[in-house]
């Protein structure tokens, strides 16, 4: 766990970038600092690895004050990824990734072999290893930046706007890749972004900062969407928060209708193996517009219901065979209860937090 205890940073010109910040970052999870430009996100992040010294207060990693260890020793356990990757331009990709392990005494050969594996891990083909950073796309460079930060296998990873220099499509890929990687690695990640959608997508918990790193809200993304703490958070979270919140609601508990059910004169037609072909009705065959399977969230299912000519989403099993239908009314029933459940869970969490001190 990383703990900020009453941390303040006042720059020499008098600017108070962070004022009395207290916050606990959970081990093995992704915590996102989000907020408008200049609110103190980067300053707060860089105090963790002591690139910036707090004016007052303490930061503890697993109970140890970060000031109790030499900088080099501290940073060995903390990977750092920045916007635009910050790669060494005159070193090949492989050597960029191998830099820190070589500095730590790992043989060059061994470090390069692990670097190759790491490149594949972050979704790059190992044969890009001999190129120089300028010979890669922005998204590829960013992946190399992540590989380099992971090379020393640090338990903590700090990421400062890691994906903001790339276009939205690449950004989407990189975000997905980070979530996949984190599923394998379980690092303690602190990620700074000004993009609330990125925060909601990536964060296990999101710290919404106002000016001076004042914590406006610190909550799971689903809770930020369901119950923004104040107008500031509400305006940052933006529109459609109810609909976006459905992305965090499990679709497993929706009542299903049998596949043979006729909806508005339309019946689901199946092929010989039981896979959906389309909706058969008086006007011929209409498309199903997609299917969902176990694990789908309410947002996905709602989208399918809206797109379906029958107003029904088709569920399929692991072989692609239709095994149930979700009709508008069944969806509505689930949507009705899910916000109530979320509010009840929030209240329960608050009670437990209060009891824990």
Ligand X SMILES: Nc1ncnc2c1ncn2[C@@H]1O[C@H](COP(=O)(O)OP(=O)(O)OP(=O)(O)O)[C@@H](O)[C@H]1O
Q: How far is the CB of 193 from ligand X (least distance, A)?
A: 8
- Rounded to 10 deg, the angle between the 138-150 and 93-103 helix axes is 20
Instruction: Check residue 39 for interaction with ligand X (CB under 6 A).
Output: yes
What is the size of the binding site for ligand X (CB under 6 A)?
13
Question: Which CB, 44 or 296, lies closer to ligand X?
Answer: 44
Sole window of 38-46, 97-105, 129-137, 302-310 interacting with ligand X (rule: CB under 6 A): 38-46
Q: How far is the CB of 72 from ligand X (least distance, A)?
A: 23
Question: Which CB, 21 or 124, lies closer to ligand X?
Answer: 21
Question: Which CB, 18 or 316, lies closer to ligand X?
Answer: 18
Q: Contact, 14 vs 189, CB < 8 A?
A: no
Instruction: Check residue 42 for interaction with ligand X (CB under 6 A).
Output: yes
Sole window of 9-17, 166-174, 183-191, 315-323 interacting with ligand X (rule: CB under 6 A): 9-17
Question: Which CB, 145 or 251, lies closer to ligand X?
Answer: 145
The one among 6, 28, 38, 238 contacting ligand X by CB under 6 A: 38
The one among 7, 32, 34, 40 contacting ligand X by CB under 6 A: 40
Taking residues 241 to 270 in sequence order and writing x for each that binds ligand X by CB under 6 A, - otherwise, the string is: ------------------------------
Sole window of 41-49, 81-89, 285-293, 320-328 interacting with ligand X (rule: CB under 6 A): 41-49
The one among 2, 23, 41, 99 contacting ligand X by CB under 6 A: 41
Question: Which CB, 40 or 251, lies closer to ligand X?
Answer: 40
Instruction: Check residue 15 for interaction with ligand X (CB under 6 A).
Output: yes
Q: Which long-range contacts (CB under 8 A, 24 or more apart) does 244-247 make?
A: 244/200, 244/299, 245/339, 245/342, 246/297, 246/298, 246/299, 246/302, 246/335, 246/338, 247/297, 247/298, 247/299, 247/300
Q: How far is the CB of 163 from ligand X (least distance, A)?
A: 14
Q: SS in 3 state form for the chain?
A: CEEEEEEEEECCCCCEEEEEEEEEECCCCEEEEECCCCCCHHHHHHHHCCCCCCCEEEEEECCEEHHHCCHHHHHHCEEEEECCCCCCCCCCHHHHHHHHHHHCCCCHHHHHHHHHHHHHHCCCCHHHHHCCHHHCCHHHHHHHHHHHHHCCCCCEEEEECCCCCCCHHHHHHHHHHHHHHHHHHCCEEEEEECCHHHHHHHCCEEEEEEHHHEEEEEECHHHHHHCCCCHHHHHHHCCCHHHHHHHHCECCCCCCECCCCCECCEEEEECCCCCEEEEEECCEEECCCCEECCCCEHHHHHHHHHHCCCCEEEEECCCCCEEEEEEHHHHHHHHHHHHHHHHHHHHHHHHHHHHHC
Q: How far is the CB of 81 from ligand X (least distance, A)?
A: 15
Question: Which CB, 18 or 254, lies closer to ligand X?
Answer: 18
Q: How far is the CB of 230 from ligand X (least distance, A)?
A: 19
Instruction: Check residue 49 for interaction with ligand X (CB under 6 A).
Output: no
The one among 1, 6, 11, 180 contacting ligand X by CB under 6 A: 11
Query: For residues 44 and 210, what is the distance between their CA atoms, to the nearest angstrom?
Result: 12
Instruction: Check residue 56 for interaction with ligand X (CB under 6 A).
Output: no
Backbone angles phi, psi at 248, to 5 degrees: -105, 5
Instruction: Check residue 17 for interaction with ligand X (CB under 6 A).
Output: yes
Sole window of 34-42, 86-94, 114-122, 240-248 interacting with ligand X (rule: CB under 6 A): 34-42
Q: How far is the CB of 55 from ligand X (least distance, A)?
A: 12
Site for ligand X in 160-219 (CB under 6 A): 194
Query: For residues 337 and 246, what is the distance between their CA atoms, to the nearest angstrom?
Result: 12
The one among 21, 30, 43, 97 contacting ligand X by CB under 6 A: 43
Residue ranges binding ligand X (CB under 6 A): 11, 13, 15, 17, 35, 37-43, 194
């Amino acid at each position: 766990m990383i703990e900020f205890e009453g941390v303040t940073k006042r720059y020499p010109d008098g600017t108070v970038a962070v004022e009395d910040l207290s916050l606990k970052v959970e081990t093995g999870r992704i915590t996102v600092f989000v907020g408008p430009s200049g609110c103190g996100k980067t300053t707060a992040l860089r105090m963790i690895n002591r690139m910036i010294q707090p004016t007052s207060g303490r930061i503890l990693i697993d109970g140890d004050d970060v000031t109790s260890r030499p900088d080099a020793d501290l940073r060995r356990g903390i990977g750092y990824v920045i916007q635009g990757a910050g790669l060494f331009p005159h070193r090949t990709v492989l050597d960029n990734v191998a830099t820190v392990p070589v500095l730590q005494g790992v043989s060059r050969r061994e470090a390069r072999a692990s670097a190759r594996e790491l490149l594949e891990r972050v979704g790059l083909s190992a044969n890009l290893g001999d190129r120089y950073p300028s010979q890669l796309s922005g998204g590829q460079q960013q992946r190399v930046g992540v590989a380099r930060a992971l090379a020393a296998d640090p338990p903590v990873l700090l990421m400062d706007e890691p994906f903001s220099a790339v276009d939205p499509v690449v950004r989407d890929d990189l975000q997905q890749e980070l979530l996949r990687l984190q599923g394998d690695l379980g690092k303690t990640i602190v990620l700074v972004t000004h993009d609330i959608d990125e925060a909601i997508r990536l964060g296990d918990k999101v710290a919404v900062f106002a000016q001076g790193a004042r914590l406006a809200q610190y909550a799971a993304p689903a809770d930020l969407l369901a119950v923004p703490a104040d107008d500031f958070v509400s305006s940052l979270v933006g529109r459609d928060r109810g609909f976006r919140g459905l992305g965090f609601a499990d679709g497993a508990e929706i009542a299903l209708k049998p596949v043979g059910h006729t909806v508005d004169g339309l019946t689901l037609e199946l092929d010989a193996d039981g896979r959906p072909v389309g909706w058969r009705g008086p006007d011929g065959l209409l498309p199903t517009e997609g299917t969902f399977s176990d694990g789908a969230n309410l947002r996905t299912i709602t989208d399918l219901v809206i797109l379906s000519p029958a107003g029904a989403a088709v569920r399929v099993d692991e072989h692609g065979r239709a095994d149930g239908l979700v009709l508008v009314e069944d969806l509505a029933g689930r949507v009705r209860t899910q916000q109530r459940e979320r509010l009840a869970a929030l209240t329960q969490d608050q009670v437990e937090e209060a009891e824990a001190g």
